[in-house]
Amino acid sequence: MENKAIFMHGTNDMIWKEIPVPEIGEEDVLIKVEAVGICGSDMHYYQHGKIGGFIVDGDFILGHEAAGKVVEVGAKVKDLKVGDRVAMEPGVTCGKCEFCVTGKYNLCPDVEFFATPPYHGVFANYVKHPASKCFKLPEHVSSIEGALVEPLNVGLHAANQGNVKLGDTVVVFGTGCIGLCSLLASKAMGASQIIVVDILQNRLDKAKELGATHVINAKNEDVVAKVMELTNNLGAEVVIETAGSEITLKQTVDVLKPAGTIVSVGMTPKDSIEFNFMKLQSKEGTIKSVFRYRNLYPTGINAIASGSIKIADIVSHKFDFEKTKEAFDYVAENPGEVVKAVIVMQ
Ligand SMILES: NC(=O)c1ccc[n+]([C@@H]2O[C@H](COP(=O)([O-])OP(=O)(O)OC[C@H]3O[C@@H](n4cnc5c(N)ncnc54)[C@H](O)[C@@H]3O)[C@@H](O)[C@H]2O)c1
Ligand SMILES: [Zn+2]
Ligand SMILES: [Zn+2]
Domains of the chain by residue range: 4-148+315-344, 155-289
Which residues place a Cβ less than 5 A from the ion ligand 3? 93-94, 97, 100, 108
Cα of 316 vs centre of ligand 1, distance in Å, is 17
Cα of 25 vs centre of ligand 3, distance in Å, is 20
Cα of 118 vs centre of ligand 3, distance in Å, is 18
pLDDT at residue 346 in the model = 77
Task: Answer whether 256 contacts ligand 1 (Cβ < 6 A).
Answer: no
**CB under 8 Å to 68, separation ≥6 — which residues?**
31, 32, 33, 34, 35, 85, 86, 88, 127, 143, 345
Do 99 and 85 touch, CB atoms closer than 8 A?
A: no
pLDDT at residue 286 in the model = 98
Task: Answer whether 266 contacts ligand 1 (Cβ < 6 A).
Answer: yes
Ligand with the closest atom to the CA of 103: 3
Ligand with the closest atom to the CA of 265: 1
pLDDT at residue 270 in the model = 87
pLDDT less than 70: residues of the chain: none
pLDDT at residue 283 in the model = 98
Residue 186: name the closest of 160, 204, 207 by CA.
160
CATH number of 4-148+315-344, picked from 3.90.180.10, 3.30.1490.100, 3.30.9.10, 3.30.2270.10:
3.90.180.10
pLDDT at residue 336 in the model = 87
Residues facing 344 on adjacent strands: 35, 320
Cα of 18 vs centre of ligand 2, distance in Å, is 25
In b/e form, how buried is each residue of 55-66, taking b as 16+ CB within 10 angstroms? ebeebbbbbbbb
- CATH architecture, domain defined by 155-289: 3-Layer(aba) Sandwich (3.40)
Ligand with the closest atom to the CA of 44: 1
Do 333 and 21 touch, CB atoms closer than 8 A?
A: no
